[in-house]
Amino acid sequence: MIHFVTTSDGKYREVANLLHGYGIKIERERLPVPEIQADTSEEVVRYSLDVLAGLTANDVLVDDSGFYVNALNGFPGVFSAYTYRTIGTRGLLRLLEGAQDRSSRFETVMGLRLGKEVRVFKGECHGVVAAEPHGAEGFGFDPIFVPDGEVRTFAEMPITEKNAISHRGNAAKKVAEFLQGR
């Protein structure tokens, strides 16, 4: 059994749901995971897995995700959760007022530690920042992100539709394929 270490209910729901779709069951583990200040989620995840090795003998999964806005030099990136808690979607929209380029992406990096083996999987979803928030599903910046090929925001999609194209869905698929191939 793999233990998903997270303090985010939204992440847990999505990841449990996603992996369940591949026949993989996970359990939640509420250990505090030290997340480092780094420029990429991959660095955050590798560091968390290193530290977790000293805290638990269980096989663990961690997820670090971020929202990257090109016109803002990638802001808020790895610090998306904090940015959401403080300035929110309204703040982000304000930073983009008048911007021509509204392209952005979500990224999820999932890290797996199975015994001594460490694996890292990355999923992305490209799109644009909406002019205004729409929808109430999902969490975080979902209400202002419209994936490429869509007219709805992530927050306007049922979770199964979002999962089929999302950064987290793509990363979970790679995790599942890896686990199934063992």
Nearest distance, CB of residue 92 and a copy of itself, angstroms: 9
Gap between the Cα atoms of 63 and 10, Å rounded: 12
Residues in a beta bridge with 114: 117
Closer CB to a copy of itself, 85 or 182, in the complex: 85
Closer CB to a copy of itself, 81 or 175, in the complex: 81
Positive or negative, the CA dihedral 152, 153, 156, 162 is positive
CB within 8 Å of 172: residues ≥ 6 apart: 15, 18, 19, 22, 110, 123, 163
Active site residue 63: no
When binding is defined by CB under 8 A, the residue of 55, 95, 114, 118 that contacts a copy of itself is: 95
Rg, Å, the chain Cα set = 16
Instruction: Give the distance between the most distant pair of CA atoms in the chain.
Output: 51
Q: In the range 25-44, which residues lie near a copy of itself by CB under 8 A? A: 34-37, 44
x/- letters, 63..92, toward a copy of itself (CB under 8 A): ---------xxxxxxxx--xx-xxx---x-
Nearest distance, CB of residue 18 and a copy of itself, angstroms: 24
Which residues here bind a copy of itself, judged by CB under 8 A? 34-37, 44, 47, 72-79, 82-83, 85-87, 91, 94-95, 97
